[in-house]
Structure 1
């Protein structure tokens, strides 16, 4: 007589259930997160380029940006320019690292994106709409880099 392995009950957490198109639910969410990581890398590189350009503009000429109203957090534009330039260069390099799949780039990417959120909040009086757009994109970058572990899901064993 041959021994047969018992099949798990359908309500068992490891029971195999069929899904449309033969996909497992984790595959779909992992694919979304992986695509999000690639997009996050591109967004970090673009943020780096735009931030560097804004920094160079502020360093070169103090009258490029005008402040809208009073704001609690004030720095002169030359200081803001240097901050934007340095953060921009680091963001660009980090974005390139994310695209190459470097592990250090994910951690640094989350840190840089959080720093970008803070800096853009402080930059609101100079470019309010662009700052809000950049904050939203940086939040997406944080989400994308935190949700994808970079590993394939464990294979399903029947």
Structure 2
């Protein structure tokens, strides 16, 4: 008789680390879908934002930055706001709903210090106050990622 799949995942671990380096709205939105679903199944989840995906964490009152509204267009060419509105009218979770769920379920959110500099954002840029964001580099992220856990790049 084959061994059943452990409740903690096919590999026997409960950790999921997601690196968000692309800034397309659909990619960032779906990473939040995956993170919230994994957290809902009692997995330890870390989201590591870098590159253009970091725009999703920048507070919208920063000069010239519109937060997640400033992400790259969705895969269908629509603006992030239009795509999010489409999701809302079709009963799908919106960006804010998913991010709020991730925060409520204890997903660790990290912002890459190098990525913030690469985007030309000033030191001490204001990140979202409603999301506990740890800043660090790749080494910090890798040191904190549980060994044997799954790691995805989006």
TM over 0.5: same fold?
Answer: no
State the TM-score, normalized to the length of structure 2.
0.24
The structure carrying a bigger strand percent of its residues is 2
The structure carrying a bigger helix percent of its residues is 1
State the TM-score, normalized to the length of structure 1.
0.24
Higher relative contact order (CA 8 A, sep 6+): 2
